[in-house]
Structure 1
Amino acid sequence: MYGTRIRNLRKEKKLTLKQLSKELGISFTALGNYEREDRQPNFETFEAIANYFDVSIDYLVGRRDVKTLMNTFLITTLKPFRNYSVKNHLK
């Protein structure tokens, strides 16, 4: 899961493996291994990738489908109001 998500985020930003590895300060080979899930990044690398793309580590590893913590917060907070209708309260 994390490999696919890293690859998709990289492609969304139109970055090559080489460009992203340089931005993150990791080797091109290591990043390729992470995308193929041949190796798993350590916590610090997961954190660097998440920070670079402004997503949560939970998103990267597949525990959440929402990319950012703010979106998760908003969805959770607003969920009770999903069936709320203003017109029912204007009478």
Structure 2
Amino acid sequence: MSKQTHIIIKELLKEFKYTQSDLAKKLNVTQASISRYLSGQMQIDIDTLKEIANIFNVSTDYLLGRSEIKTSEETTNINAFHSISTDGLSKEEIDLVKAMVEQLKKKK
């Protein structure tokens, strides 16, 4: 099950070392509104969600818990990887490349 938006925003606040007050100022809302967003007492409207995504440089899908990919840069990297041509490689070589990628992912 995906994380809820308010939990993701709390994690981003910690990561960026922002307080609720900092986020409130950036969004031009009250700190009480941020508190209600983060407690799940109040839904975040779509425009505010977009602004939060911009502030933290993440996608709205990430904020909504629909994707583990934070930024469009990560999406671009993934798309670039998928566009790499394997023409001329044997099945064994392709499998080796896939195994290497899996090893790299495990290191993270």
> How high is the TM-score relative to the length of structure 2?
0.69
Aligned to 1:46, what secondary structure does the other structure show? helix
Residue of structure 2 in register with 1:38 after alignment: 41
1:3-62 CA-to-partner distances (Å, cap 9, x unmatched) read 011111111111111121112111111111111221111110000000011000000000
Q: Give aligned-pair identity as a percent.
A: 32
- CA deviation digits over 1:51-76, x for unaligned, max 9? 01100000000010111022023123
Q: Counterpart of 1:88?
A: none
Q: Mind listing any 5+ residue stretches in structure 1 that lack a counterpart?
A: 85-91
Cα RMSD after superposing both structures: 2.1
Residue in structure 1 matching 2:57, options 37, 41, 54: 54
Deviation at 1:79, TM superposition (A): 4.0
1:8-19 maps to which residues of 2 (within 5 A)? Answer: 8-19=11-22
TM-score (norm 1): 0.81
Distance 2:71 2:58 in 1: 5
Identify the residue that residue 31 of structure 2 maps to in structure 1.
Answer: 28
**Aligned counterpart, 2:106:** none
Rounded to whole Å, the distance in 2 between the matches of 1:62 and 1:28 is 23
The number of residues matched between the two structures is 85
The correspondence for 1:67, drawn from 66, 70, 88, is: 70
- Compare CA radii of gyration and give the structure with the larger one: 2
Q: Which has the higher contact order (CA 8 A, sep 6+)?
A: 1
> Are 1:3 and 2:6 an aligned pair?
yes
